[in-house]
Amino acid sequence: MSNSVGAATRTVHLQAIGRVPAVEAQQLQPGDNVMWNGGSVSEVLKVEEASPHFLRVYLASGIPGKSEPDVRRWKKTTLIGVQSARVLTPDTTPQEPAQPAARFPVDSTVLYVPAGGGERDVVLVKSEPAADGTVSVISGRQQGAAIQVPQDELHVLPSLRPEPAGELTEWWTVMDRTGREVARVKGGLLRSGAMQAVERDPVAGPVSRREGGVGLRKLRTSELDVPLGELPGPPRTAPAAPKPRRQIAVTFEHTRKSIPTRLRESNAPGQMGSDSTGALRWVLPSGEQLRLSEAVARFLS
């Protein structure tokens, strides 16, 4: 009947109704109206003793056409919500705040957009809204950490772009850290070949060395006619929100370079290549193939 009983105040909490007056089952009389979750009411027809501690209560059936009464077995001291003038006394107990309606069901994936302009996050809803309007979610940006966020700052995920039409080609689009297309290279069918083409490209190569890599995606025939720079791509890292902080000037001379570039600058014998599986190798003039870690240990240590 209820999920919360106030024994001191003689009330029970009914779902979708709230707190209502209550009496012990042994105080029920014919003519009383018992209240249920959702607001339905049943009239008490007869009360008889079933045992020293329990009662058998006959209630008018709420099913149309059914003449037989419903029979309930209640402990004598159980509080029963009633709709009766004899127990309607002023209720001074504080009312529970209404729960905010849930905008997204539990286990739905949504987009969290902080009102203060912070970084967006893809989250998994894990609770119903609390009284303060917040919900518990699992953060993708924070690698599965549980956080509490305002429900009003959750939004439906934007729909994905449709898959381009046409057959896959040997051309690859090269994107920088922000997802901007900077070049296109013909790199064959394997990603390793595309990376070699990137290293040789006068535009993509410097970007790759400066940012420690680039984004690659194989193009379809329908995308070949799109002008360079107009193919969108997702950023690999979100732009950092500007935060006021103390500025410290640091001067250093280290420049991050790729291993093949460092090998060439050190005049290491050989050149970049790939093995039968497409994995990058440093190929010596003798034909010996070294993994990049082996080449570093031999020529750069």
Of the candidate ranges 63-67, 202-206, 256-260, the one whose mean pLDDT is the lowest: 63-67
**Residues 128-152 pLDDT 10s:** 888 888 999 988 888 788 999 998 8
What b/e sequence results for 172-187 when a residue is b if at least 16 CB atoms lie within 10 Å of its CB, and e otherwise?
bbbbbbeeebbbbbeb
Domain 109-155 has CATH 2.30.30: yes
Q: What is the pLDDT of residue 243?
A: 56
- Residue 170 confidence class, pLDDT cut points 50, 70, 90: very high
Instruction: Give percent of the chain with pLDDT exceeding 70.
Output: 78
State the chain's mean pLDDT as an integer.
Answer: 80
Q: What is the pLDDT of residue 295?
A: 86
- CATH of 4-87 given 3.30.450.20, 3.30.1220.10, 2.30.30.30, 3.20.20.70: 2.30.30.30
- Residue 46 confidence class, pLDDT cut points 50, 70, 90: very high
Contact 289, 283 (CB under 8 A): yes
Cα–Cα distance, 63 to 48 (Å, whole number): 23
- Residue 43 confidence class, pLDDT cut points 50, 70, 90: confident
- What is the average pLDDT across 194-210? 92
- pLDDT above 70 (res 209): yes
Q: What is the pLDDT of residue 64?
A: 66
Cα–Cα distance, 130 to 127 (Å, whole number): 8
Q: What is the pLDDT of residue 19?
A: 78
- pLDDT above 60 (res 288): yes
DSSP 127-141: S---TTSEEEEEETT
- Residue 87 confidence class, pLDDT cut points 50, 70, 90: very low
- Give strand pairing partners of 200: none
Instruction: Provide the whole-model pTM.
Output: 0.32
Top-confidence residue, 253 or 25: 25
- Residue 100 confidence class, pLDDT cut points 50, 70, 90: low
End-to-end CA distance of the chain: 77
| Residue indicated by tokens 């500007």 | 242
Q: Is 120 exposed, middle or buried (0-12, 13-18, 19+ CB in 10 A)?
A: middle
